A and B are shown apart, each in its own frame.
Chain A
Amino acid sequence: EAGVAQSPRYKIIEKRQSVAFWCNPISGHATLYWYQQILGQGPKLLIQFQNNGVVDDSQLPKDRFSAERLKGVDSTLKIQPAKLEDSAVYLCASSLGAGGWEQYFGPGTRLTVT
């Protein structure tokens, strides 16, 4: 069974530029999550989708971050414009459903903002 796929694996941009990350969850997984992991910290939830609807985006900085999962399968996370403090690893995870199911994580995208 293929795991959660993410691309790109690494990205370097200058501040005020925009960037987009892509995630393809495990086939059949209805729930998709995006987490931000700053160096030396645990991951922090940014947004949770159930199929193509947003369940929780309370910690998403909506002035610069956006995410979509239009067809209920893959998802994109965008930052525009980027700030230095956005340097982090962005992790995508998926699960069969909400309610305590195991979340499977992708390898992450490491973003460096200079």
Chain B
Amino acid sequence: AQSVTQLGSHVSVSEGALVLLRCNYSSSVPPYLFWYVQYPNQGLQLLLKYTSAATLVKGINGFEAEFKKSETSFHLTKPSAHMSDAAEYFCAVSMGGGADGLTFGKGTHLIIQP
């Protein structure tokens, strides 16, 4: 069974600093990988998606993630944090095919210090 591990349930950075949220997956074959963001009392919004076309994926709001097969990682980064980035971030994996429900990590709460 596939699984996702997000290191750090809470990450705190200063406004303007680099954001790095870590995600490792376990899968026997290259999966589809996703990062979602969730603001309080809202549903999940897709930030970006890896589908094997390119290892460096650019998403919305200045976020990007790099797929590293050798490390089974898909870490999310943003060069300069903004106060509006404060939210919960989830990494998820899907094997594609017919049954492609997402398996999510436990999430990382991103705190932005002024």
Contact = CB atoms under 8 A, between A and B. Distances in A.
Interface of A: 4, 31, 33, 35, 40-45, 48, 50, 55-56, 91, 93, 98-108
Given A4-B43, A91-B44, A42 B101 contact: no
Contact of A45 (B90, B97, B102): B102
A43 B98 contact: no
29 contacts: A4-B43, A33-B102, A35-B101, A35-B102, A42-B4, A42-B92, A42-B104, A42-B105, A42-B107, A45-B102, A50-B98, A55-B99, A91-B43, A93-B44, A98-B97, A98-B98, A98-B99, A99-B96, A100-B32, A100-B49, A100-B94, A100-B96, A101-B100, A105-B43, A105-B45, A106-B43, A107-B41, A107-B42, A107-B43
Contacts of A50: 98
Interface in B40-76: 41-46, 49, 51
A101 B51 CA distance: 10
A105 B100 contact: no
B16 to A, nearest CB: 29
B103 interface: yes
Contacts, number: 66
Contacts of B104: 42-44
Contacts of A98: 96-100
A102 B49 contact: yes
A108 B44 CA distance: 9
B72 to A, nearest CB: 18
Contact of A102 (B46, B99, B101): B46
A43 B101 CA distance: 11
